């Protein structure tokens, strides 16, 4: 990805050697090695996010950085998603319900080869396919047109029902924010998923404890969150959501015939010290100096 800053062309290195990553290779690695490789990918995704937001001078940096590890682990380490299988009816479905974190999704899809990494520099530019919230009709690999919150999980339930009806048995992973769970539609869908024993459905809650305006627990508290999902009839795993090894383990754990909720405890802004766990970084744009600092931390 190249971007122009004050007339200077800056080249962003893409790991490794400016080429899309070979995801098949990562998925086939032994678990421990896989987690290490995923960490490297996550770091690359974080660098891309920071640079996209810098170029666009807009975006949702806090949530992008908190959900990165879970998104990368699912997309590169677990799920069957690739440009080659993008139209395969039996492909796994990755649904980003927290659609404002499109920069994280676009970075993952670009590194996976769904579109050129260079395209990331058009993020939110006039007529770009990379809208501020994802559009499945414009970007291959996007499964749902999200943005308004509380939409992804019902769509995921429909996908999981379809998986069983068709006998094709694909996995559906839905990534939600934690503040997003204040939308009632999630709990409508949670009931349907448990009632129908959708053990092919996983919801990953990016539990960074911050929403746009304040901490979740100071706004409309979600705790005890694991118990909420369990009481709805879901299998629950609560893990460090910025740890690729823990994520890998949770994504592949036994589900006991139930849908699985992974409560991924994360830091909003993870990886950039001055952004981490600070409410003002929901969609604040870093200054040029802060961008340089952030990229240094992510080197």
Partner 1 sequence: MNAHSSVSNETFDCRVAFSEKLIALAEADPRIVAVCNDSVGSSNLNAFRDRFPDRLINVGIAEQNMVGVAAGLANAGFIPFVCAAGPFLSGRATEQVKADVAYSNYGIVLCAMSPGMAYGELGPTHHSIEDLSWMRAIDNLDVLVPADPEQTKAAMDWAVASGRPIYMRVGRHKVPSVTPADRETAFTFGKIDVTGDGNDVALVATGTLVSRAIEAQAILAAEGILARVLNVSTIKPLDAETIIKAAKETKGLVVAEEGVLEGGLGAAVSMTLSENHPAKAKFLGVTSFAPTGSNDFLLEHFGLTAKGIADAARKLVG
Sketch the per residue contact string, 81 through 100, with partner 1: x for CB under 8 A, - otherwise: --------x---x-------
Residue 136: CB atoms within 10 A of its CB come to 13
CA distance 177 to 263: 10
Q: Pick the closer one to partner 1 by CB: 20 or 158.
A: 158
Per CB under 8 A, contacts with partner 1 among 103-162 are 135-137, 143-148, 150-151, 153-162
Per CB under 8 A, contacts with partner 1 among 43-82 are none
Q: Pick the closer one to partner 1 by CB: 18 or 166.
A: 166
How many residues bind partner 1 (CB under 8 A)? The answer is: 34
Q: Pick the closer one to partner 1 by CB: 195 or 288.
A: 195
Q: Pick the closer one to partner 1 by CB: 2 or 168.
A: 168
- The region, left, alpha or beta by phi > 0 then psi within -120 to 50, assigned to residue 269 is left
CA distance 118 to 176: 27
Neighbour-count burial for 232-268, b at 16+ CB within 10 Å, e otherwise: bebbbbbbebbbbbbbbebbeeebeebbbbbbbbbbb
CB of 55 to partner 1, least distance (A): 26
CA distance 281 to 292: 17
Q: Pick the closer one to partner 1 by CB: 163 or 208.
A: 163
Sequence-ordered alpha helix ranges (H) in 97-137: 102-111
Residues forming contacts to partner 1 in the complex (CB under 8 A) are 89, 93, 135-137, 143-148, 150-151, 153-163, 165-166, 172, 184-185, 188-189, 191-192, 195
């Amino acid at each position: 990805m190249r971007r122009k800053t004050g007339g200077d062309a800056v080249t962003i290195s893409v790991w490794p050697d400016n080429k899309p990553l070979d995801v098949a290779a990562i998925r086939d690695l032994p678990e421990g090695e896989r987690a290490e490789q995923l960490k490297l990918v996550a770091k690359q995704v974080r660098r891309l996010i920071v640079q996209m937001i810098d170029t666009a001078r807009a975006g949702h940096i806090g949530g992008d950085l908190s959900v990165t590890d879970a998104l990368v682990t699912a997309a590169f380490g677990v799920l069957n998603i690739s440009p080659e299988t993008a139209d395969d009816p039996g492909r796994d479905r990755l649904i980003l319900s927290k659609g404002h974190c499109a920069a994280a999704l676009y970075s993952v899809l670009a590194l996976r080869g769904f579109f050129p990494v260079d395209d990331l520099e058009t993020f939110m530019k006039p007529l770009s396919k990379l809208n501020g919230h994802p559009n499945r009709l414009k970007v291959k690999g996007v499964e749902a047109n999200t943005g308004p919150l509380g939409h992804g999980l019902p769509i995921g339930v429909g996908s999981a029902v379809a998986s069983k009806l068709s006998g094709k048995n694909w996995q559906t992973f839905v990534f939600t924010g934690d503040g997003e769970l204040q939308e009632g539609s999630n709990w409508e869908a949670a009931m349907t998923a448990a009632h129908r024993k959708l053990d092919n459905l996983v919801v990953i809650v990016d539990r960074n404890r911050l929403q746009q305006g304040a901490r979740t627990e100071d706004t409309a508290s979600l705790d005890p969150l694991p118990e909420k999902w369990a009481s709805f009839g879901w299998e629950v795993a609560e893990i460090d959501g910025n740890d690729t090894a823990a994520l890998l383990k949770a994504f592949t754990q036994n589900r006991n015939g139930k849908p699985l909720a992974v409560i991924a405890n994360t830091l909003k802004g993870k990886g950039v010290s001055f952004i981490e766990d600070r409410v003002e970084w929901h969609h604040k744009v870093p200054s040029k100096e802060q961008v340089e600092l952030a990229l240094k931390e992510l080197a």
